[in-house]
Amino acid sequence: MTSTTTTNTVSLTLSPNSSQIFEDQSVSLSCEEDDSSAGWTLRRNTTGRKMTQCGGGWGRPAGSSCTIGLTVPWDSGVYWCESREGATKNDLPVSVVTAPPTQAEEGLDDAVITTTTEHYF
């Protein structure tokens, strides 16, 4: 009896292509196999939720792809592709950070501090 094992290459693609994502940014992640993307599920492990798949409280799944419409800091974590058999590939750390304020926004966050001096005689 002959046994043949075929190993397909799968890659995890992040768009935009950066491991540091700004808050409120839309991102898309996809598991792409050399001959197809069928059979791979995108999963993540974050501080708040452990090992959940796209659509399980986060993201919009579409086949082996997932879109996060507006990222938040707790989307930071490790993302990977998992086969139906449970094999995992391509751990990708993603960090969601708060964007620095733009020049037009800086004035909106100004605070006025009023102090009162009391004199005791």
Q: What is the DSSP letter of 109?
A: G
Whole-number Cα distances in Å, 10 to 66, 75, 85: 15, 23, 14
Q: Token pair of 72, please?
A: 């938040």
Domains, the chain, in order of start with CATH, read 10-98 (2.60.40.10)
Write the pLDDT tens digit of every residue in 13-52: 999 887 679 999 999 999 887 766 567 888 998 876 676 8
The model's pTM: 0.70
Strand, helix or coil for residue 106? helix
